[in-house]
Chain A
Protein backbone atom coordinates (compact mmCIF):
# COMPACT_ATOMS: atom_id res chain seq x y z
CA UNK A 1 0.00 0.00 0.00
CA UNK A 2 1.47 3.36 -0.98
CA UNK A 3 -0.54 5.68 1.27
CA UNK A 4 -3.06 5.50 4.09
CA UNK A 5 -6.57 4.70 2.87
CA UNK A 6 -9.29 7.28 3.52
CA UNK A 7 -11.46 4.61 5.16
CA UNK A 8 -8.62 3.86 7.60
CA UNK A 9 -8.38 7.56 8.48
CA UNK A 10 -12.14 7.71 9.01
CA UNK A 11 -11.94 4.70 11.31
CA UNK A 12 -9.05 6.32 13.18
CA UNK A 13 -10.99 9.57 13.63
CA UNK A 14 -14.02 7.70 14.97
CA UNK A 15 -11.84 5.62 17.33
CA UNK A 16 -10.11 8.73 18.69
CA UNK A 17 -13.38 10.65 19.13
CA UNK A 18 -14.99 7.70 20.90
CA UNK A 19 -12.11 7.20 23.31
CA UNK A 20 -11.03 10.72 24.14
CA UNK A 21 -12.31 11.84 27.56
CA UNK A 22 -13.33 15.27 26.21
CA UNK A 23 -16.02 13.65 24.05
CA UNK A 24 -17.55 12.01 27.11
CA UNK A 25 -17.37 15.27 29.06
CA UNK A 26 -19.12 17.21 26.27
CA UNK A 27 -21.77 14.49 25.90
CA UNK A 28 -22.30 14.44 29.68
CA UNK A 29 -22.77 18.24 29.69
CA UNK A 30 -25.38 17.95 26.93
CA UNK A 31 -27.30 15.12 28.64
CA UNK A 32 -27.05 16.86 32.02
CA UNK A 33 -28.34 20.07 30.49
CA UNK A 34 -31.28 18.16 28.96
CA UNK A 35 -32.20 16.57 32.29
CA UNK A 36 -31.92 19.94 34.01
CA UNK A 37 -34.17 21.83 31.59
CA UNK A 38 -36.80 19.08 31.49
CA UNK A 39 -36.82 18.91 35.31
CA UNK A 40 -36.95 22.71 35.66
CA UNK A 41 -39.68 23.20 33.04
CA UNK A 42 -41.73 20.32 34.47
CA UNK A 43 -41.57 21.96 37.90
CA UNK A 44 -42.74 25.28 36.47
CA UNK A 45 -45.50 23.62 34.45
CA UNK A 46 -47.01 21.90 37.50
CA UNK A 47 -46.49 24.85 39.87
CA UNK A 48 -49.76 26.40 41.08
CA UNK A 49 -50.71 29.59 39.23
CA UNK A 50 -50.70 31.43 42.55
CA UNK A 51 -46.92 30.93 42.87
CA UNK A 52 -46.51 34.00 40.59
CA UNK A 53 -43.66 34.91 38.30
CA UNK A 54 -45.77 35.28 35.19
CA UNK A 55 -44.94 31.73 34.25
CA UNK A 56 -48.08 31.23 32.21
CA UNK A 57 -47.01 33.82 29.69
CA UNK A 58 -43.49 32.48 29.50
CA UNK A 59 -44.74 28.94 29.01
CA UNK A 60 -47.09 29.79 26.17
CA UNK A 61 -44.47 29.00 23.46
CA UNK A 62 -43.72 25.71 25.21
CA UNK A 63 -47.40 24.75 25.30
CA UNK A 64 -47.68 25.68 21.61
CA UNK A 65 -44.70 23.57 20.47
CA UNK A 66 -43.10 21.60 23.31
CA UNK A 67 -40.91 19.52 20.98
CA UNK A 68 -39.54 22.60 19.19
CA UNK A 69 -39.07 24.49 22.47
CA UNK A 70 -36.88 21.86 24.10
CA UNK A 71 -35.08 21.09 20.83
CA UNK A 72 -34.25 24.78 20.42
CA UNK A 73 -32.68 24.99 23.86
CA UNK A 74 -30.74 21.77 23.32
CA UNK A 75 -29.56 22.99 19.91
CA UNK A 76 -28.14 26.19 21.43
CA UNK A 77 -26.02 24.41 24.02
CA UNK A 78 -25.29 21.56 21.59
CA UNK A 79 -23.93 23.98 18.99
CA UNK A 80 -21.56 25.53 21.52
CA UNK A 81 -20.32 22.06 22.51
CA UNK A 82 -19.97 21.07 18.84
CA UNK A 83 -17.73 24.08 18.18
CA UNK A 84 -15.55 23.09 21.15
CA UNK A 85 -15.43 19.48 19.88
CA UNK A 86 -14.52 20.72 16.39
CA UNK A 87 -11.67 22.91 17.58
CA UNK A 88 -10.35 20.08 19.76
CA UNK A 89 -10.51 17.59 16.90
CA UNK A 90 -8.35 19.82 14.72
CA UNK A 91 -6.35 21.94 17.17
CA UNK A 92 -5.07 19.10 19.32
CA UNK A 93 -3.43 17.44 16.32
CA UNK A 94 -1.20 20.52 16.21
CA UNK A 95 -0.72 21.09 19.94
CA UNK A 96 0.10 17.42 20.58
CA UNK A 97 2.15 17.01 17.44
CA UNK A 98 0.09 14.02 16.33
CA UNK A 99 -0.50 15.49 12.87
CA UNK A 100 3.20 14.79 12.29
CA UNK A 101 2.68 11.19 13.41
CA UNK A 102 -0.29 10.75 11.05
CA UNK A 103 1.68 12.14 8.09
CA UNK A 104 4.66 9.92 8.86
CA UNK A 105 2.18 7.02 8.89
CA UNK A 106 1.59 7.78 5.19
CA UNK A 107 -1.61 9.77 5.57
CA UNK A 108 -2.17 12.46 2.94
CA UNK A 109 -2.78 15.94 4.30
CA UNK A 110 -6.03 16.41 2.39
CA UNK A 111 -7.30 13.01 3.51
CA UNK A 112 -6.58 13.86 7.17
CA UNK A 113 -8.62 17.06 6.82
CA UNK A 114 -11.47 15.44 4.91
CA UNK A 115 -11.74 12.57 7.38
CA UNK A 116 -12.12 15.12 10.17
CA UNK A 117 -14.77 16.99 8.20
CA UNK A 118 -16.61 13.70 7.68
CA UNK A 119 -16.47 13.03 11.42
CA UNK A 120 -17.84 16.51 12.11
CA UNK A 121 -20.65 15.89 9.62
CA UNK A 122 -21.51 12.72 11.48
CA UNK A 123 -21.35 14.55 14.82
CA UNK A 124 -23.73 17.20 13.41
CA UNK A 125 -26.26 14.54 12.43
CA UNK A 126 -26.01 12.83 15.83
CA UNK A 127 -26.42 16.17 17.59
CA UNK A 128 -29.46 17.12 15.48
CA UNK A 129 -31.08 13.75 16.19
CA UNK A 130 -30.30 14.10 19.89
CA UNK A 131 -31.80 17.61 20.02
CA UNK A 132 -34.99 16.50 18.31
CA UNK A 133 -35.23 13.24 20.27
CA UNK A 134 -34.65 15.33 23.42
CA UNK A 135 -37.50 17.58 22.33
CA UNK A 136 -39.81 14.59 21.91
CA UNK A 137 -38.73 13.08 25.25
CA UNK A 138 -39.17 16.44 27.00
CA UNK A 139 -42.65 16.90 25.51
CA UNK A 140 -43.57 13.39 26.61
CA UNK A 141 -42.46 14.15 30.19
CA UNK A 142 -44.38 17.45 30.17
CA UNK A 143 -47.51 15.62 28.95
CA UNK A 144 -47.18 13.07 31.76
CA UNK A 145 -46.73 15.65 34.51
CA UNK A 146 -49.38 18.13 33.28
CA UNK A 147 -51.84 15.63 31.76
CA UNK A 148 -52.01 17.98 28.76
CA UNK A 149 -51.57 16.85 25.15
CA UNK A 150 -48.18 18.52 24.63
CA UNK A 151 -46.56 15.76 22.56
CA UNK A 152 -47.34 15.84 18.88
CA UNK A 153 -44.87 14.43 16.38
CA UNK A 154 -45.16 14.28 12.62
CA UNK A 155 -42.59 11.79 11.32
CA UNK A 156 -42.00 13.62 8.03
CA UNK A 157 -41.65 16.99 9.73
CA UNK A 158 -39.32 15.41 12.30
CA UNK A 159 -37.03 14.07 9.55
CA UNK A 160 -36.99 17.42 7.75
CA UNK A 161 -36.25 19.30 10.97
CA UNK A 162 -33.43 16.87 11.79
CA UNK A 163 -31.94 17.36 8.33
CA UNK A 164 -32.11 21.16 8.53
CA UNK A 165 -30.74 21.24 12.07
CA UNK A 166 -27.88 18.95 11.03
CA UNK A 167 -27.11 21.25 8.09
CA UNK A 168 -26.92 24.23 10.44
CA UNK A 169 -24.67 22.39 12.89
CA UNK A 170 -22.46 21.16 10.04
CA UNK A 171 -22.12 24.70 8.64
CA UNK A 172 -20.91 26.09 11.98
CA UNK A 173 -18.67 23.05 12.52
CA UNK A 174 -17.14 23.65 9.09
CA UNK A 175 -16.50 27.30 9.96
CA UNK A 176 -14.91 26.21 13.26
CA UNK A 177 -12.87 23.61 11.39
CA UNK A 178 -11.59 26.10 8.81
CA UNK A 179 -10.76 28.70 11.45
CA UNK A 180 -8.87 26.24 13.65
CA UNK A 181 -7.01 24.71 10.71
CA UNK A 182 -6.03 28.06 9.24
CA UNK A 183 -4.79 29.40 12.57
CA UNK A 184 -3.52 26.02 13.91
CA UNK A 185 -4.93 27.09 17.26
CA UNK A 186 -7.60 25.41 19.36
CA UNK A 187 -8.15 28.62 21.35
CA UNK A 188 -8.54 30.82 18.28
CA UNK A 189 -10.82 28.22 16.67
CA UNK A 190 -13.19 28.17 19.63
CA UNK A 191 -12.99 31.90 20.33
CA UNK A 192 -13.42 33.11 16.78
CA UNK A 193 -16.26 30.71 15.95
CA UNK A 194 -18.26 31.23 19.14
CA UNK A 195 -17.51 34.96 18.95
CA UNK A 196 -18.75 35.00 15.36
CA UNK A 197 -21.91 33.15 16.35
CA UNK A 198 -22.76 35.47 19.23
CA UNK A 199 -21.57 38.79 17.81
CA UNK A 200 -23.07 37.91 14.44
CA UNK A 201 -26.47 37.23 16.00
CA UNK A 202 -26.38 40.53 17.91
CA UNK A 203 -25.29 42.46 14.83
CA UNK A 204 -27.90 40.74 12.70
CA UNK A 205 -30.61 41.73 15.19
CA UNK A 206 -29.45 45.33 15.13
CA UNK A 207 -29.28 45.46 11.33
CA UNK A 208 -32.71 43.90 10.89
CA UNK A 209 -34.18 46.48 13.26
CA UNK A 210 -32.99 49.23 10.88
CA UNK A 211 -35.46 48.22 8.17
CA UNK A 212 -35.13 46.91 4.63
CA UNK A 213 -31.58 48.15 4.05
CA UNK A 214 -30.50 46.62 7.35
CA UNK A 215 -32.19 43.35 6.43
CA UNK A 216 -30.24 43.24 3.19
CA UNK A 217 -27.01 44.12 4.96
CA UNK A 218 -27.59 41.36 7.54
CA UNK A 219 -27.55 38.83 4.73
CA UNK A 220 -23.81 39.37 4.44
CA UNK A 221 -23.39 37.56 7.78
CA UNK A 222 -23.08 33.77 7.92
CA UNK A 223 -25.51 33.77 10.86
CA UNK A 224 -28.36 34.90 8.58
CA UNK A 225 -27.90 32.09 6.07
CA UNK A 226 -27.23 29.33 8.60
CA UNK A 227 -30.13 30.42 10.79
CA UNK A 228 -32.53 30.26 7.85
CA UNK A 229 -31.22 26.92 6.62
CA UNK A 230 -31.48 25.30 10.04
CA UNK A 231 -34.78 26.92 11.03
CA UNK A 232 -38.36 25.79 10.57
CA UNK A 233 -39.60 28.41 8.12
CA UNK A 234 -39.83 27.75 4.39
CA UNK A 235 -37.08 28.96 2.05
CA UNK A 236 -38.12 30.26 -1.35
CA UNK A 237 -36.00 30.63 -4.48
CA UNK A 238 -35.22 34.30 -3.83
CA UNK A 239 -33.81 33.39 -0.42
CA UNK A 240 -31.61 30.67 -1.91
CA UNK A 241 -30.20 33.35 -4.23
CA UNK A 242 -28.36 34.95 -1.30
CA UNK A 243 -28.04 31.90 0.96
CA UNK A 244 -25.95 29.91 -1.53
CA UNK A 245 -23.31 32.63 -2.18
CA UNK A 246 -23.21 33.38 1.55
CA UNK A 247 -22.46 29.74 2.42
CA UNK A 248 -20.02 29.44 -0.49
CA UNK A 249 -17.98 32.31 0.93
CA UNK A 250 -18.06 31.46 4.63
CA UNK A 251 -18.18 27.67 4.62
CA UNK A 252 -16.60 26.59 1.33
CA UNK A 253 -14.27 29.57 0.81
CA UNK A 254 -12.88 29.52 4.33
CA UNK A 255 -12.20 25.79 4.13
CA UNK A 256 -10.58 26.01 0.69
CA UNK A 257 -8.21 28.62 2.12
CA UNK A 258 -7.55 26.49 5.22
CA UNK A 259 -6.87 23.36 3.13
CA UNK A 260 -4.51 25.31 0.87
CA UNK A 261 -2.66 26.46 3.99
CA UNK A 262 -2.50 22.89 5.31
CA UNK A 263 -1.09 21.71 1.99
CA UNK A 264 1.95 24.00 2.24
CA UNK A 265 2.25 23.99 6.02
CA UNK A 266 5.51 23.33 7.83
CA UNK A 267 4.17 20.65 10.16
CA UNK A 268 7.20 20.58 12.46
CA UNK A 269 7.01 24.31 13.20
CA UNK A 270 3.22 24.07 13.46
CA UNK A 271 3.43 21.57 16.28
CA UNK A 272 6.01 23.41 18.37
Chain B
Protein backbone atom coordinates (compact mmCIF):
# COMPACT_ATOMS: atom_id res chain seq x y z
CA UNK B 1 0.00 0.00 0.00
CA UNK B 2 1.38 3.43 -0.92
CA UNK B 3 1.24 6.66 1.08
CA UNK B 4 -2.02 7.91 -0.40
CA UNK B 5 -5.44 7.54 1.17
CA UNK B 6 -7.20 8.57 -2.05
CA UNK B 7 -5.92 8.45 -5.62
CA UNK B 8 -7.89 9.94 -8.47
CA UNK B 9 -6.55 9.50 -12.00
CA UNK B 10 -8.15 11.15 -15.01
CA UNK B 11 -11.75 10.96 -13.83
CA UNK B 12 -14.04 12.21 -16.58
CA UNK B 13 -17.81 12.58 -16.71
CA UNK B 14 -20.00 13.96 -19.46
CA UNK B 15 -23.73 14.70 -19.09
CA UNK B 16 -24.96 15.00 -22.66
CA UNK B 17 -23.10 17.91 -24.22
CA UNK B 18 -21.77 19.11 -20.87
CA UNK B 19 -18.30 17.95 -19.89
CA UNK B 20 -18.83 18.13 -16.12
CA UNK B 21 -15.50 16.65 -15.04
CA UNK B 22 -12.50 16.63 -17.36
CA UNK B 23 -9.57 14.32 -16.55
CA UNK B 24 -9.42 15.25 -12.88
CA UNK B 25 -6.45 13.82 -11.03
CA UNK B 26 -5.22 14.34 -7.49
CA UNK B 27 -3.84 12.40 -4.55
CA UNK B 28 -4.71 12.75 -0.88
CA UNK B 29 -1.72 11.82 1.31
CA UNK B 30 -2.37 9.84 4.45
CA UNK B 31 -2.90 12.13 7.42
CA UNK B 32 -3.84 15.09 5.21
CA UNK B 33 -6.90 17.29 5.35
CA UNK B 34 -7.44 17.90 1.66
CA UNK B 35 -9.67 20.77 0.56
CA UNK B 36 -11.59 20.50 -2.66
CA UNK B 37 -12.52 23.95 -3.90
CA UNK B 38 -14.39 25.33 -6.84
CA UNK B 39 -17.25 27.61 -7.81
CA UNK B 40 -20.78 26.24 -8.15
CA UNK B 41 -20.99 23.85 -11.08
CA UNK B 42 -17.24 23.30 -11.27
CA UNK B 43 -17.64 19.54 -10.82
CA UNK B 44 -16.85 19.04 -7.12
CA UNK B 45 -19.87 16.93 -6.23
CA UNK B 46 -19.69 14.96 -9.48
CA UNK B 47 -16.05 14.14 -8.71
CA UNK B 48 -16.92 13.08 -5.14
CA UNK B 49 -19.84 11.07 -6.57
CA UNK B 50 -17.48 9.18 -8.90
CA UNK B 51 -14.97 8.74 -6.09
CA UNK B 52 -17.62 7.10 -3.88
CA UNK B 53 -19.18 4.96 -6.61
CA UNK B 54 -22.44 6.90 -6.80
CA UNK B 55 -21.73 8.05 -10.36
CA UNK B 56 -20.12 5.72 -12.89
CA UNK B 57 -17.26 7.64 -14.58
CA UNK B 58 -16.88 7.77 -18.37
CA UNK B 59 -13.12 7.44 -17.99
CA UNK B 60 -10.46 7.37 -15.32
CA UNK B 61 -10.05 5.53 -12.05
CA UNK B 62 -10.28 6.20 -8.34
CA UNK B 63 -8.89 4.27 -5.41
CA UNK B 64 -9.65 4.59 -1.72
CA UNK B 65 -6.99 3.05 0.53
CA UNK B 66 -5.69 1.24 -2.55
CA UNK B 67 -9.07 -0.30 -3.46
CA UNK B 68 -10.44 0.38 -6.93
CA UNK B 69 -13.84 2.09 -6.71
CA UNK B 70 -15.16 1.10 -10.15
CA UNK B 71 -14.42 -2.60 -9.63
CA UNK B 72 -16.19 -2.86 -6.27
CA UNK B 73 -17.62 0.40 -4.85
CA UNK B 74 -18.93 -1.09 -1.61
CA UNK B 75 -15.59 -2.75 -0.89
CA UNK B 76 -13.66 0.44 -1.73
CA UNK B 77 -15.79 2.33 0.77
CA UNK B 78 -14.95 -0.15 3.53
CA UNK B 79 -12.14 2.17 4.70
CA UNK B 80 -14.19 5.33 4.27
CA UNK B 81 -17.02 7.29 5.76
CA UNK B 82 -18.73 9.64 3.33
CA UNK B 83 -21.29 12.39 3.11
CA UNK B 84 -21.96 13.38 -0.49
CA UNK B 85 -24.61 15.97 -1.41
CA UNK B 86 -27.40 16.71 1.07
CA UNK B 87 -27.87 14.25 3.95
CA UNK B 88 -30.75 11.85 3.27
CA UNK B 89 -32.40 9.74 5.94
CA UNK B 90 -35.77 8.12 6.64
CA UNK B 91 -38.01 10.93 7.93
CA UNK B 92 -40.29 8.71 10.01
CA UNK B 93 -37.37 7.28 12.01
CA UNK B 94 -35.42 8.99 14.78
CA UNK B 95 -31.81 10.04 14.26
CA UNK B 96 -30.75 7.14 16.47
CA UNK B 97 -32.84 4.59 14.58
CA UNK B 98 -31.50 5.83 11.24
CA UNK B 99 -27.95 5.38 12.48
CA UNK B 100 -28.73 1.95 13.93
CA UNK B 101 -29.79 0.80 10.47
CA UNK B 102 -26.60 2.18 8.93
CA UNK B 103 -24.47 0.70 11.75
CA UNK B 104 -25.88 -2.71 10.94
CA UNK B 105 -25.09 -2.27 7.24
CA UNK B 106 -21.56 -1.03 7.96
CA UNK B 107 -20.88 -3.71 10.56
CA UNK B 108 -20.32 -1.06 13.23
CA UNK B 109 -21.18 -1.94 16.84
CA UNK B 110 -24.55 -0.68 18.03
CA UNK B 111 -22.85 1.09 20.95
CA UNK B 112 -21.05 3.29 18.43
CA UNK B 113 -24.36 4.95 17.57
CA UNK B 114 -24.78 6.78 20.88
CA UNK B 115 -21.14 7.80 21.02
CA UNK B 116 -21.20 9.15 17.45
CA UNK B 117 -24.41 11.08 18.05
CA UNK B 118 -22.78 12.67 21.12
CA UNK B 119 -19.65 13.43 19.09
CA UNK B 120 -21.62 15.53 16.60
CA UNK B 121 -23.76 17.20 19.27
CA UNK B 122 -26.99 15.32 18.63
CA UNK B 123 -27.25 13.33 21.87
CA UNK B 124 -30.29 15.26 23.09
CA UNK B 125 -32.12 15.12 19.77
CA UNK B 126 -31.21 11.50 19.09
CA UNK B 127 -34.72 10.18 19.67
CA UNK B 128 -36.54 12.88 17.72
CA UNK B 129 -37.83 11.95 14.29
CA UNK B 130 -35.57 13.05 11.43
CA UNK B 131 -38.42 14.96 9.77
CA UNK B 132 -38.38 17.38 12.72
CA UNK B 133 -34.66 18.13 12.46
CA UNK B 134 -33.38 21.56 11.44
CA UNK B 135 -31.01 21.91 8.48
CA UNK B 136 -28.04 22.03 10.84
CA UNK B 137 -29.19 18.92 12.73
CA UNK B 138 -29.62 17.05 9.45
CA UNK B 139 -26.09 18.01 8.46
CA UNK B 140 -24.81 16.80 11.84
CA UNK B 141 -26.58 13.47 11.39
CA UNK B 142 -24.99 13.15 7.94
CA UNK B 143 -21.62 13.76 9.53
CA UNK B 144 -22.43 11.17 12.21
CA UNK B 145 -23.23 8.60 9.51
CA UNK B 146 -19.84 9.25 7.91
CA UNK B 147 -18.02 8.92 11.26
CA UNK B 148 -20.01 5.88 12.43
CA UNK B 149 -17.79 3.12 11.00
CA UNK B 150 -14.67 4.73 12.54
CA UNK B 151 -13.17 5.14 9.06
CA UNK B 152 -9.59 5.66 7.95
CA UNK B 153 -10.72 8.17 5.33
CA UNK B 154 -13.45 10.78 5.59
CA UNK B 155 -15.04 12.16 2.40
CA UNK B 156 -17.28 15.15 3.06
CA UNK B 157 -19.20 17.35 0.66
CA UNK B 158 -19.78 20.82 2.16
CA UNK B 159 -20.02 19.48 5.75
CA UNK B 160 -20.58 22.89 7.36
CA UNK B 161 -23.49 23.94 5.13
CA UNK B 162 -26.39 25.01 7.32
CA UNK B 163 -24.36 25.00 10.54
CA UNK B 164 -24.16 28.06 12.78
CA UNK B 165 -20.68 29.55 13.47
CA UNK B 166 -20.26 27.44 16.62
CA UNK B 167 -21.19 24.33 14.65
CA UNK B 168 -18.74 25.23 11.89
CA UNK B 169 -16.00 25.63 14.47
CA UNK B 170 -16.84 22.22 15.96
CA UNK B 171 -16.61 20.59 12.54
CA UNK B 172 -13.27 22.24 11.81
CA UNK B 173 -11.95 21.01 15.15
CA UNK B 174 -13.33 17.55 14.48
CA UNK B 175 -11.58 17.38 11.09
CA UNK B 176 -8.27 18.52 12.58
CA UNK B 177 -8.53 15.96 15.40
CA UNK B 178 -9.42 13.26 12.89
CA UNK B 179 -6.32 14.00 10.79
CA UNK B 180 -4.13 14.37 13.88
CA UNK B 181 -4.84 10.70 14.57
CA UNK B 182 -3.13 9.86 11.26
CA UNK B 183 -6.34 9.59 9.25
CA UNK B 184 -7.22 11.46 6.09
CA UNK B 185 -9.99 13.84 5.10
CA UNK B 186 -11.19 15.01 1.70
CA UNK B 187 -13.56 17.92 2.15
CA UNK B 188 -15.26 20.10 -0.41
CA UNK B 189 -16.20 23.56 0.71
CA UNK B 190 -16.95 26.99 -0.61
CA UNK B 191 -15.84 28.59 2.69
CA UNK B 192 -12.31 29.53 1.71
CA UNK B 193 -11.14 30.82 5.07
CA UNK B 194 -12.32 27.53 6.53
CA UNK B 195 -10.29 25.53 4.04
CA UNK B 196 -7.24 27.75 4.59
CA UNK B 197 -7.52 27.25 8.37
CA UNK B 198 -8.26 23.54 8.31
CA UNK B 199 -6.63 21.97 5.27
CA UNK B 200 -3.06 20.88 4.75
CA UNK B 201 -3.56 20.42 1.00
CA UNK B 202 -6.05 21.65 -1.57
CA UNK B 203 -7.16 21.36 -5.17
CA UNK B 204 -9.00 24.09 -7.03
CA UNK B 205 -11.47 23.04 -9.69
CA UNK B 206 -12.59 25.24 -12.54
CA UNK B 207 -15.02 24.13 -15.24
CA UNK B 208 -14.40 20.48 -14.41
CA UNK B 209 -10.60 20.68 -14.41
CA UNK B 210 -8.05 20.87 -11.60
CA UNK B 211 -6.31 24.21 -12.15
CA UNK B 212 -4.20 24.28 -8.97
CA UNK B 213 -3.28 21.54 -6.56
CA UNK B 214 -0.78 20.83 -3.82
CA UNK B 215 0.16 21.58 -0.21
CA UNK B 216 -1.62 24.66 1.14
CA UNK B 217 1.66 26.50 1.78
CA UNK B 218 2.72 25.99 -1.83
CA UNK B 219 -0.68 27.15 -3.15
CA UNK B 220 -0.54 30.28 -1.04
CA UNK B 221 3.09 31.07 -1.97
CA UNK B 222 2.03 31.12 -5.63
CA UNK B 223 -0.23 34.03 -4.68
CA UNK B 224 2.53 36.04 -2.98
CA UNK B 225 3.50 39.49 -4.24
CA UNK B 226 5.66 42.43 -3.27
CA UNK B 227 4.30 45.64 -1.81
CA UNK B 228 6.52 48.69 -2.28
CA UNK B 229 6.30 52.18 -0.84
CA UNK B 230 7.92 54.51 -3.32
CA UNK B 231 7.90 58.31 -3.87
CA UNK B 232 6.66 58.31 -7.51
CA UNK B 233 4.36 55.44 -8.44
CA UNK B 234 3.83 56.30 -12.17
CA UNK B 235 7.59 56.41 -12.71
CA UNK B 236 8.01 53.21 -10.72
CA UNK B 237 5.44 51.46 -12.90
CA UNK B 238 7.36 52.57 -15.98
CA UNK B 239 10.66 51.43 -14.49
CA UNK B 240 9.34 47.95 -13.72
CA UNK B 241 7.90 47.42 -17.20
CA UNK B 242 9.92 44.58 -18.77
CA UNK B 243 11.83 43.98 -15.51
CA UNK B 244 12.92 40.33 -15.18
CA UNK B 245 10.75 38.23 -12.83
CA UNK B 246 7.97 40.82 -12.73
CA UNK B 247 4.67 39.52 -14.07
CA UNK B 248 2.86 42.82 -13.57
CA UNK B 249 2.49 45.83 -11.30
CA UNK B 250 -0.30 48.18 -10.22
CA UNK B 251 -1.08 50.93 -7.76
CA UNK B 252 -3.23 50.05 -4.77
CA UNK B 253 -4.04 52.38 -1.85
CA UNK B 254 -1.01 54.61 -2.57
CA UNK B 255 1.32 51.63 -2.71
CA UNK B 256 2.92 49.77 -5.55
CA UNK B 257 1.84 46.12 -5.77
CA UNK B 258 4.27 44.02 -7.81
CA UNK B 259 3.20 40.58 -8.98
CA UNK B 260 6.50 38.77 -8.55
CA UNK B 261 8.01 35.92 -6.58
CA UNK B 262 9.63 36.83 -3.24
CA UNK B 263 13.03 35.94 -4.74
CA UNK B 264 12.69 38.91 -7.13
CA UNK B 265 12.56 41.44 -4.27
CA UNK B 266 16.24 42.45 -4.52
CA UNK B 267 16.08 42.88 -8.30
CA UNK B 268 12.92 45.00 -8.03
CA UNK B 269 14.53 47.20 -5.40
CA UNK B 270 17.68 47.63 -7.51
CA UNK B 271 15.66 48.56 -10.63
CA UNK B 272 13.70 51.23 -8.71
CA UNK B 273 16.80 52.74 -7.07
CA UNK B 274 18.67 52.78 -10.40
CA UNK B 275 15.71 54.72 -11.85
CA UNK B 276 16.31 57.37 -9.21
CA UNK B 277 13.31 56.51 -7.06
CA UNK B 278 13.24 56.57 -3.25
CA UNK B 279 12.07 53.20 -1.88
CA UNK B 280 10.95 53.58 1.74
CA UNK B 281 9.56 50.05 2.26
CA UNK B 282 9.44 46.73 0.45
CA UNK B 283 7.62 43.70 1.83
CA UNK B 284 6.20 40.34 0.82
CA UNK B 285 2.44 39.91 1.05
CA UNK B 286 0.32 36.81 0.71
CA UNK B 287 -3.05 37.25 -0.92
CA UNK B 288 -4.58 34.37 1.03
CA UNK B 289 -6.57 31.50 -0.37
CA UNK B 290 -9.58 33.64 -1.13
CA UNK B 291 -7.62 35.95 -3.41
CA UNK B 292 -5.81 33.02 -5.00
CA UNK B 293 -9.15 31.27 -5.58
CA UNK B 294 -10.67 34.37 -7.15
CA UNK B 295 -7.63 34.84 -9.39
CA UNK B 296 -7.96 31.29 -10.66
CA UNK B 297 -11.71 31.13 -11.03
CA UNK B 298 -12.32 34.69 -12.20
CA UNK B 299 -15.33 34.93 -14.45
CA UNK B 300 -17.01 31.73 -13.22
CA UNK B 301 -20.53 31.61 -11.78
Contacts and interface: CB of A to CB of B under 8 A. Distances in A.
The yes or no verdict on A and B being binding partners is: yes
Interface of A: 1-5, 8-9, 11-12, 15-16, 19-21, 96-98, 100-108, 264-269, 271
A19 B145 CA distance: 20
A102 B105 contact: yes
Contact of A96 (B90, B101, B106): B90
Given A4-B107, A97-B85, 19 more contacts: A3-B74, A5-B107, A8-B104, A15-B97, A19-B90, A19-B97, A96-B89, A100-B84, A101-B89, A103-B53, A103-B73, A104-B77, A104-B84, A104-B146, A105-B145, A106-B74, A267-B49, A268-B84, A271-B85
A266 B85 contact: no
B145 A101 contact: yes
A9 B102 CA distance: 9
Contacts of A8: 104-105, 107
Contacts of B200: none
Contact of B102 (A5, A105, A265, A269): A105
B118 interface: no
Contacts of B107: 1, 4-5, 8
B192 to A, nearest CB: 24
B42 interface: no
Given A8-B105, A12-B105, A264 B82 contact: no
B101 A15 contact: yes
B208 to A, nearest CB: 15
Interface in B100-155: 101-102, 104-107, 145-146, 149
B19 to A, nearest CB: 15
B88 to A, nearest CB: 3
A107 B77 CA distance: 10
Nearest to B54: A267
A266 B56 contact: yes
Interface residues of B, number: 37
Contact of A100 (B46, B54, B74, B78): B54
Nearest to A92: B90
Contacts of B87: 101
B56 A4 contact: no
B137 to A, nearest CB: 16
A4 B106 contact: yes
Contact of A103 (B54, B75, B90, B145): B54
25 contacts: A9-B105, A11-B104, A16-B93, A19-B90, A19-B93, A21-B92, A96-B88, A98-B90, A101-B102, A101-B145, A103-B52, A103-B54, A103-B73, A104-B52, A104-B77, A104-B83, A105-B105, A106-B149, A108-B74, A265-B56, A267-B49, A268-B45, A268-B49, A268-B84, A268-B85
A21 B84 CA distance: 27
A20 to B, nearest CB: 5
